[in-house]
Structure 1
């Protein structure tokens, strides 16, 4: 089973490059100037061109929180820091047991990167 979501941005390469360079996705080979798909571990993100897409950060309760569960959350954090991408919420253990951190993608989506052992 695969899961996915779509993000909207005036320049699909900007948002696709974020997912590849910062979060370790790979580009799907079928790409155009208007749509690029990036893939990682059964998750597909469609990066769609939309000239009027609002690029403001949307932190819950406005918008949504996208959760990427990973085996090595500290390694993922190091990858994001090495890519010099801003961290929205620091790496920490949460009261419910999850260790995670958050970033905003270039389209303003709030992305939580969490350890895969967390149920939330």
Structure 2
């Protein structure tokens, strides 16, 4: 059986998270129950659970606060079309399309919770 991947993110506001991932990055909301949501775009699955921010969290030691030191990479067929859609939606790019030294084209955005996202052309396997 082939492997698949799902990531879990921990946004401060589930509503803000859903707006960004559905409106800006074109994910579909599959399910929402309370403070949890499950999204999909092609074979990419994201689970998200609203998490208190350190400023509002009374007992930080008892609540899971994952490190956001990651880069999420989305491989797409048409980087220019993706970039144009993101810009048309009014979202600010961190870096516009550029050809990288490894030969792929990409651009970068940061989601409302600080997760760094690189949207890139598909590479050879």
TM beyond 0.5: yes
Aligned to 2:60: none
Q: CA RMSD in A?
A: 1.8
Higher Cα Rg: structure 1 or 2? 2
Secondary structure in 1 matching 2:73: strand
1:107 to 110, 113, 116: 113
C-alpha distance in 2 between matches for 1:36 and 1:43: 14
Matched, 1:38 2:44: no
C-alpha distance in 2 between matches for 1:14 and 1:86: 15
1:93 to 60, 85, 99: 99
Point out which structure has higher relative CO (alpha carbons under 8 A, 6+ apart).
1
Corresponding residue pairs, total: 111
Return structure 1 stretches of 4+ with deviation > 2 angstroms.
none
C-alpha distance in 1 between matches for 2:39 and 2:51: 17
> Aligned ranges for residues 23-102 of structure 1 at < 5 Å?
23-28=25-30, 30-52=31-53, 63-102=69-108
C-alpha distance in 2 between matches for 1:53 and 1:79: 33
Secondary structure in 1 matching 2:113: coil
Superimposed CA distance per residue, residues 86-107 of structure 1 (whole angstroms, 9 cap, x where no aligned partner)? 1011111111101000000111
TM-score, normalised with respect to structure 1: 0.84
Listed as ranges, the gaps of 5+ residues in structure 2 are 56-67
TM-score, normalised with respect to structure 2: 0.81
